[in-house]
């Protein structure tokens, strides 16, 4: 099957699974979080033999899982809307970085974001991802999904994007250290769970911290 088709189909399936876990009921949500965190920890143990990695990364992943659960049950009952908003912004950041980075960031002379860690990432992709994330936050605000003031939506978008890029680069550094291209192959064309959730591991806690500081939760 064509690689682009495989990537597209698996990406759609991934999004549908995420939507089901975030929107249908608390049991699916809890199962989704358990599956994601367990899967990421297994991937870390598969790709790295380093004792420090095997200690630090599972702790970070468990903290991430706990953050997802707290945000899902923040008001006592279950609601995945806030997490959905976070993921939409993160996915928008990825799409923007890919589209603008592919269009402008691969030209001769284009400035690379972190060439020693991830040679394909460019500053053009960074700014493209930021623009897409901000656009997503504005849409989320005016559709009533992200119920905070527009100025906070814009700041939150910037935090989510910048933290997400950092999370992506940190995971890329781990893979480079371990000599692997992907953390796994669970999602055809996209890699493993760690590849898919590296950005959100940093972006969601950072965004949640901003909301907590300004009493927006």
* pTM beyond 0.85: yes
What three-state secondary structure class fits 121?
A: strand
| 157-195 CB burial, b ≥16 within 10 A, e <16 | bbbbbbbbbbbbbbbbebbeeeebebbbebbebbbbbbb
**pLDDT confidence of residue 115:** 83
**pLDDT confidence of residue 19:** 93
- Distance (Å) of CA 59 to CA 52, 55, 65, 177, 214: 11, 7, 10, 19, 27
Cβ(44)–Cβ(194) under 8 Å?
yes
How does pLDDT run across 31-64, given as a tens digit for each residue? 999 999 999 999 999 999 999 999 999 999 999 9
Q: What is the distance between the alpha carbons of residues 94 and 128, in angstroms, rounded to a whole number? A: 9
**pLDDT confidence of residue 64:** 96
**pLDDT confidence of residue 5:** 77
- In the chain, where the domains are located: 3-213
How does pLDDT run across 80-137, given as a tens digit for each residue? 999 999 999 999 999 999 999 888 867 766 788 888 888 888 899 999 999 999 999 9
CB atoms within 10 A of CB 125: 27
**pLDDT confidence of residue 85:** 97
75 or 20, which is more confident? 20
How does pLDDT run across 161-191, given as a tens digit for each residue? 999 999 999 999 999 999 998 888 887 777 8
**pLDDT confidence of residue 103:** 85
């Amino acid at each position: 099957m064509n690689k682009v088709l495989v990537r597209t189909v698996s990406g759609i399936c991934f999004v549908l699974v995420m939507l089901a876990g975030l929107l249908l009921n608390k049991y699916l949500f809890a199962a989704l979080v358990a599956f994601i965190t367990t899967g990421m920890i297994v991937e870390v143990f598969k790709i790295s033999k380093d004792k420090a990695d095997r200690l630090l990364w599972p702790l970070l992943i468990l903290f991430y899982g706990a953050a997802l659960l707290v945000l899902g049950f923040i008001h006592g009952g279950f609601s995945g809307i806030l997490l959905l908003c976070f993921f939409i912004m993160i996915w928008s950041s990825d799409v923007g970085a890919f589209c603008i980075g592919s269009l402008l960031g691969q030209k001769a002379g284009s400035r690379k974001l972190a060439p020693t860690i991830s040679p394909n990432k460019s500053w053009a992709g960074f700014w493209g991802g930021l623009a897409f994330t901000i656009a997503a936050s504005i849409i989320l605000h005016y559709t009533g999904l992200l119920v905070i003031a527009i100025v906070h939506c814009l700041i939150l978008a910037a935090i989510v994007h910048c933290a997400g890029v950092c999370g992506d680069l940190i995971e890329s550094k781990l893979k480079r250290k371990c000599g692997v291209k992907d953390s796994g192959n669970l999602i055809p064309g996209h890699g493993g769970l760690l590849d898919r959730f590296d950005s959100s591991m940093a972006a969601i806690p950072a965004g949640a911290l901003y909301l907590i500081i300004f009493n927006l939760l």
